[in-house]
Structure 1
Amino acid sequence: MGPGAAPPDQAVVGRLRGAGCVFAEEEAALLAVAARDAEELSLLVDRRVAGTPLEQLVGWAEFCGLRIVVAPGVFVPRRRTELVVREAVALARRGDVVVDLCCGTGAVGAALAAAVPGIDLHAADVDPAAVRCARRNLPGVPVHEGDLFAALPGALAGRIAVLTANVPYVPTAAVPLMPPEARDHEPRTALDGGEDGLAFVRRVVTDAPAWLARGGAVLFECGAGQTGAAVDVVTAAGLAARPVIDDDLGGTVVVGRLP
């Protein structure tokens, strides 16, 4: 809470804590700010207790120090994905063509644009709701709608210096075991990565060489237990693979570089 902010309603805190919200006081304060009156606050708390992600209720998420608009039903950016941004920032230069594929809210693209001014940024997603949300977070940036590379203008082929792809990587059988916040309130297309979780990784990595500039890189997140298989996919596509693990963020990223 900021200076002078009213303490959160303890009844609300108690309801949130009883529902398993670890940061109940902080969530209560955020919901109170988002609500126009006591009646709306009660409705927001009901929805939060029922499992709706906090970010969808308050309408934003913090990501790489930015406030990212999060619309209802759109995938909520995870803190671990900041590792993708960190690795991409190290590769991108002013004037580079950079693509945020499977962009969701556009959080990765927004963070890259903030960290590396002057990039030629494009974003794309298959989900119309995500595309609408990303356009709010990426004003002036072309946000394309469609399935992976089919969404992109053909003129970008062979010109992309940095390609981030926040592909789904949860194995199909594990999706029902996810927390209800994700399982029930985020699009299945943003979660389900196929039988072993790497179906979309294979599609992106296989097609990436035709879209990357010489020396360009594709970066994607995966589960810690998928790293070896993901590296094999990258190597089979003729790219040099480099896994990056950050225990503090809880993230695993694989970077594939075109020679």
Structure 2
Amino acid sequence: MQEFAPPLTFSALVTTLRAAGCVFAEDEAELLQATAADPAALATMLERRAAGLPLEHVLGWAEFCGLRISVDPGVFVPRRRTEFLVRQAAALSPAPAVVVDLCCGSGALGTALASALDGVELHAVDVDPAAVRCARRNVGGLGTVHEGDLFAPLPRSLRGRVDALLANVPYVPTGDVALLPAEARVHEPRVALDGGGDGLDVMRRVVAEAADWLAPGGSLLVETSERQAARAEETVGSRGLGARVVVSEELYATVVIGTRPR
């Protein structure tokens, strides 16, 4: 007679997660139990998490701005700190608004902003085919997801019409990528992390074209680190945009905003 292992108890989940180094083991155990379809699925999910996969890849989703965003394996996981960028964009955007989400990953930023505002025309872009597939599920009928490098795949008709240009570009300096936690370094695409020598290479490419795409009064919003903020602000301002830095100490988030003059 075949013997079956008993279902995992909450205590067993927590013990295994703690042993794997999960700081919030109790919270993660609750999420695994709530998401698993059956005991076999729960055991598989626990095994994957204990092996070091990001929790969001194990669950298949991440919570972002109150939404459940699908996150496939190998796709960049939206960070809670980036909710600050979305809130800033929502405060600046008119209604209706034309929104572009560059380096969109799962499409979390554009989806969240389009869900918060009425009448958004949303376009999201990513160079990674896996991210594009994931973003298309999240964006759904809220907008269009394009595959390609930065502005290249966008319709030319958007030039001069974009009210909010969200650019959650990679900003980790190349030399620091190896220092990232394994969850990011091993399981997220390097193209979503590596920002070049000083971490600002992709941002510079975005800023170089941003003014041509922004509507009068439209804003570019870029997430960066505290130590990069001054250089990022200078770069944004050098392209004719009114630049400023906004910070959330609560979320440890730094955003550079560049606004095209009216």
* 2:109 match: 108
- C-alpha displacement of 1:82: 0.5
* 1:46 match: 47
* 1:78 match: 79
- C-alpha displacement of 1:160: 0.6
**Residue identity in the other structure for 2:86:** V
**Runs in 1 of length 4+ with deviation above 4 angstroms?**
none
- C-alpha displacement of 1:43: 2.3
Q: Percent identity?
A: 60
**Residue identity in the other structure for 1:113:** A
**Residue identity in the other structure for 1:162:** A
Q: TM-score, normalised on structure 1?
A: 0.95
- C-alpha displacement of 1:54: 0.6
SS in 2 for 1:90: helix
SS in 2 for 1:184: helix
Q: Structure 1 CA distance, aligned partners of 2:117 and 2:97? A: 10
**Residue identity in the other structure for 1:139:** G
* 1:37 match: 38
Q: Deviations over 1:85-119 (max 9, x none)?
A: 01100111222211111111111111111111111
Q: Structure 2 CA distance, aligned partners of 1:33 and 1:66? A: 16
Q: Structure 1 CA distance, aligned partners of 2:75 and 2:155? A: 24
Q: Deviations over 1:49-108 (max 9, x none)?
A: 121011111111111111111111110100000111011001112222111111111111
Residue 241 (structure 2) aligned to one of 239, 242, 245: 239
**Residue identity in the other structure for 1:245:** V
**Residue identity in the other structure for 2:203:** V
Q: Structure 1 CA distance, aligned partners of 2:124 and 2:241? A: 23
Q: In the alignment, is the contact (CA less than 8 A) between 1:125 and 1:151 conserved in 2?
A: no
SS in 1 for 2:217: strand
CA RMSD of aligned residues (A): 1.5
Correspondence 1:84-233 to 2 at 5 A? 84-140=85-141, 141-233=143-235
Q: TM-score, normalised on structure 2?
A: 0.93
SS in 2 for 1:170: coil
SS in 1 for 2:255: strand
- C-alpha displacement of 1:42: 2.3
Return closer, same or farther for 1:10/1:224 CA change in 2, 3 Å cut-off. same
- C-alpha displacement of 1:8: 5.3
Q: Structure 2 CA distance, aligned partners of 1:151 and 1:36? A: 39
Q: In the alignment, is the contact (CA less than 8 A) between 1:8 and 1:29 conserved in 2?
A: no
Q: In the alignment, is the contact (CA less than 8 A) between 1:175 and 1:192 conserved in 2?
A: yes
Structure 1: which 5+ runs fail to align? 1-6
Q: Structure 1 CA distance, aligned partners of 2:166 and 2:64? A: 16
Q: Pick which of 31-40 and 125-134 moved more.
A: 31-40
Q: Structure 2 CA distance, aligned partners of 1:59 and 1:210? A: 37
Q: Structure 2 CA distance, aligned partners of 1:120 and 1:8? A: 47
